[in-house]
Amino acid sequence: MPAIRLKTNVSLGGEAATWLPAELSRITAETIGKPERYVMAVCEEASMIMAGERAPAAFVEVGSIGGLGGDVPHRLTALICDALKKRLDIPPDRVYVCFTDVSADKWGWNGSTFG
């Protein structure tokens, strides 16, 4: 039930389309403390401008039923930014990460909701 969605103006062709969702899924599961079997990772290319420039950038949304308390958003942001810098050469100051803690009755799966 954690979900991570990356939108970027950097090409995700080739190997990036395979390893990037897997890496984001692993990072999310480990940091939030939820089983990876419940994590969904989506990576999409998008037309994007940040600070008036078309330079490499990314917008990341992380949603979860719990698990986002304390320093989790800070740690997960650091890990996401590090991965995007290493893998796609996106500078951390060109990455926004938005966190949403969703109640169990507002998250659907398998024909029902978690709450």
Contact predicate 9/89, CB 8 Å: no
Read off the amino acid at residue 29: A
Question: What distance in Å separates the CA atoms of residue 12 and residue 18, rounded to the nearest whole number?
Answer: 9
Catalytic residue among 2, 73, 91, 92: 2
Look up 2 and say whether it is catalytic: yes
Neighbours of 16 (CB within 10 A): 17
Question: What distance in Å separates the CA atoms of residue 2 and residue 41, rounded to the nearest whole number?
Answer: 9
**Catalytically annotated residues:** 2
